[in-house]
Amino acid sequence: MNERSTIIKKLRDRFNHYERLETTILSPKEDLEESKKQNKELLQAHEKQENEVLDLRYQLEEGRNVEENMKKQYLEKEEQHQVEVNILKDKLEEKYKLLRFQDSNKILDDILSSQSSPAIKASLGFHESNAKFEILNKEMRGQPHQQPRKEILQRNILLLR
């Protein structure tokens, strides 16, 4: 029986050894399967992120194109408005010139219609016993109500010399 018990003992030892080996082999195998599963999940997450990055790049490029188009439109509109402003400034300046001309004509018409020479300053408090002014006043009173401007100006210039 001794022999038999040694054989049984050896068999049990071998069996235990195989069980230990099996657990040693199975444990890394399970770890490997778990790692493969995690790698697969990480790969899927990575692919999803790459797709999101591509989407964002597309959106960014699209946004840049829209921004560039808006800048072009803005510059075109600004140029059009500047041209319009310049045209309106020119028109306004022309109107001011006409108004100044009309005001000058009105002043000149008022002077001529009042039948007094602008050189006579008696109504302004200026008193001078100059014979030329007296002659001029007499001639102006004796003249018809409306005379051509050119004739009146020439006569006044001759009298003042």
Please give the pLDDT value at position 59. Answer: 96
By percentage, how much of the chain surpasses pLDDT 90?
A: 36
With contact defined as beta carbons under 8 Å apart, do 158 and 136 qualify? no
Please give the pLDDT value at position 116. Answer: 55
Range of the domain at 14: 2-98
Residue range 39-63, pLDDT digits in tens: 999 999 999 999 999 999 999 999 9
Residue 28 has pLDDT above 60, yes or no: yes
Residues 80 and 8 reside in one and the same domain = yes
Residues 13 and 63 reside in one and the same domain = yes
Q: Quick one: average pLDDT of 6-23?
A: 83
Separation of alpha carbons 78 and 72, rounded Å: 10
Residue 17 has pLDDT above 90, yes or no: no
With contact defined as beta carbons under 8 Å apart, do 112 and 149 qualify? yes
Token pair, residue 75, equals 């510059």
Residue 161 has pLDDT above 70, yes or no: no
Number of domains in the chain: 2
Residues 120 and 94 reside in one and the same domain = no
Q: Quick one: average pLDDT of 95-118?
A: 73
For residue 65, give the amino acid letter: N
Residues 35 and 62 reside in one and the same domain = yes
For residue 57, give the amino acid letter: R
Residue 109 lies in a domain: no
Residue range 138-160, pLDDT digits in tens: 555 555 445 566 676 676 676 66
With contact defined as beta carbons under 8 Å apart, do 140 and 111 qualify? no
> What is each CA distance from 47 to 3, 36, 53, in whole angstroms?
65, 16, 10
- E strand segments, 13-80: none
